[in-house]
Chain A
Amino acid sequence: MRTRTLPGPRPSAPPTAPKGAAAGADGPGPVRHRLAERIAPYSYIAPFFLLFAVFGLFPLLFTFYIALFDWNPIGDRTFIGFDNFTRLWDDGRFWNATRNTLSIWFLSTVPQLLAALLLAHLLNHVRLRFAGFFRMTMLVPYITSVAATTIVFAQMFDRDYGLLNWLLGLVGVGPINFLQSTGASHVMIATMVAWRWFGYTTLLYLASLQAIPRETYEAAAVDGAGGLKQFWHITIPSLRPIIIFTVVTSTIGGLQIFTEPLLAGRATPLTCGPTRECQTLTLFLYEQGFGGYEFGYAAAIGVALFAMIVVIALINYLLSTRIRSER
């Protein structure tokens, strides 16, 4: 728009080209032009909504439908009502996967968020040197793929040749077979998840910390509040929205943990551990759908996941409205 020809103050003209007479007089050109202007906004947002309809909304609704069938991708399909759901309810493997998912989520989220809180606090110091360098390296795990992360950590946690078991051996703890113990395998998977995300979370917290005006701390210092008191009464309340946000995203992410258990369970990829020690819900879904070709049953697991996410979203909504009213 370099050629602005109108000099002086502009009249508050209608935003679109003059309607009516001009359109009729000049033939089809302006009409087509006006139509194009009318549909322009829709054509800009159409790609997203089209993609979402085909690969998001429709599959979501279709999941509920498939879940009512005994659906074999190569054979035939029979309507069985809610049988898949009653079967799921009675399936010990489903509850095992749910427990594993929750346990891995808890073990990865709590240390991750605490570490991020501490690191963000340190990085927020105004006199910190090499601050840019520290921030950059915090993001290195994030750009490392889940697959690569899992392969290197699985090697470090290896029973026979792993670095970790060697270190444990130095302090007299016998080699742990991380895949064959429920607790140890959860710690292993949770370490992979936490490693990949703690730096990213740190940067989110740091951004929120920097939005707190310095004067707030100064005023508190004048009133005699020490470092710990400032942290508790200024830092934590200001970070509460972003903390809730990270808890919610890590929960929704936690329900989708798949690659880590699949690749960590080398010899038994579909179950992660010989007796499903670290099989997560998404891995269970994959096992049923693409390992056993029970699409109907796998879809029922998807519906269960959806229900869990709705519950989490509701809790999030209640929490964040309460926070807003407290302010």
Chain B
Amino acid sequence: MTTTTPPVARRSPPARRPRSPGRVPWWAYALLVFATFICVFPLYWMFVVASTDTATANQMPPAVIPGGNLPDRVDLVFSTVPFLRSMINSVVVAGCVGIGHAVMCSLAGFAFAKLNFRGRDTLFLVLVLTMTVPMQLAIIPQYLIVSELGWVDSLQAVIVPGLLLVSAFGIFWIRQHLSVTLSDELMQAARIDGANTWQIFWRIAFPIVRPAAFVLGLFSYVTAWNDFLWPFVVLKSPDNFTVQIAIKALQNNYDIDLGLAMAGSFLATLPLLVLFVFVGRRMVAGIMEGAFKG
């Protein structure tokens, strides 16, 4: 809550009701509806092209109503690449990154917010500095390290470095959260009752921070699900592809069937859309509280 109320605001007498802000003009709704249309239309279009056969899709003017070809296309997607396998891979990767990230950030955020240890402030400064450096520019040595570990073409090559994709900011956010919500008196009381650091974390800090950690995990899940460059570099065989790389493989058939990659894209987006229906509100709230910036 960083509302810096300037002194000038106090000038209006508190008794007076705020002036009625008036009705929202119609053009505001028109613009917002237009923005909504822009946000949703590409997904609708994905569905239209995926469900129309190539001959119809190539007509001018283009068909704008979904056709009945979706089941055939989906069959084709699953027979062209091991798509189901890719889906499972993506769930594994995104699930591990999401949970791992939430746990890692909660623990480290707790330590930075509430524990005293030598080098804390220096280490925190290092952490903040790491947020500005995008890791993509070091992709050559990262690849060398992963191949040295013998991880090329395996899922842990995506999961383990993937934990780093968004970490520093998450730790920063949990720290902010805990330094406001967890009082030192409560910590003291727990210590006197004989709780050790782990018990304080697990029984007091974690329940407080759980909603925040959940939102963090969601954002890492989405980020890991959608990541492209690094999986594209380290995953070689179709059985190990994540779903994004499978879409790229489908795209190679573009000249034969342009609906194929669209159907793949649609299927790859669908799980997140379904998830979004349930947790979208919390993600919006998370962004507005500053949970995720990157």
Contact = CB atoms under 8 A, between A and B. Distances in A.
Interface residues of B, number: 115
A145 B137 contact: no
Interface string A206-250: 110011111110110110000000000000000000000100010
B5 A3 contact: no
A47 B107 contact: yes
Interface size class of A (residues with CB under 8 A): 35 or more
B141 interface: yes
B62 interface: yes
A273 interface: no
Given A51-B163, A143-B273, A215 B9 contact: yes
B196 to A, nearest CB: 6
A147 interface: yes
A119 B142 contact: no
Contacts of A313: 132
B60 interface: yes
B208 to A, nearest CB: 12
Contact of B254 (A139, A256, A266): A266
Given A48-B108, A56-B164, A161-B62, A62 B138 contact: yes
B256 interface: no
A5 B193 contact: yes
Nearest to A221: B19
A298 B140 CA distance: 7
Nearest to B22: A127
A247 to B, nearest CB: 13
Contacts of B190: 1
A323 interface: no
Contact of B281 (A136, A140, A214): A136
Contact of B228 (A49, A137, A215, A259): A259
A10 interface: yes
Interface string A274-297: 000000001001100110000100
Contacts of A143: 222, 226, 269, 272-273, 276
A193 B14 CA distance: 46
Contacts of A57: 130
B180 interface: no
Q: Identify which of B283, B284, B294 gathers the most chain A CB atoms within 10 Å of its CB.
A: B284
A85 to B, nearest CB: 15
A13 B11 CA distance: 48
Nearest to A305: B137
A51 B160 contact: yes
Interface string A46-67: 0111011011111110110010
B88 interface: no
Given A63-B137, A161-B258, A149 B42 contact: yes
A219 B130 contact: no
A60 to B, nearest CB: 5
Interface in A154-189: 155-156, 160-161, 163, 166, 169
A200 interface: yes
A200 B223 CA distance: 14
Contacts of B38: 195
Contacts of B12: 215, 218-219, 222
A313 B2 CA distance: 24
Contacts of B272: 143-145
A147 B244 contact: yes
Contacts of A119: 31-32, 35
25 contacts: A44-B108, A44-B115, A49-B123, A51-B160, A54-B145, A56-B130, A60-B141, A66-B140, A73-B144, A145-B268, A145-B269, A151-B247, A152-B42, A152-B265, A215-B12, A216-B8, A219-B8, A256-B136, A259-B229, A266-B251, A282-B229, A290-B143, A298-B140, A302-B137, A309-B134
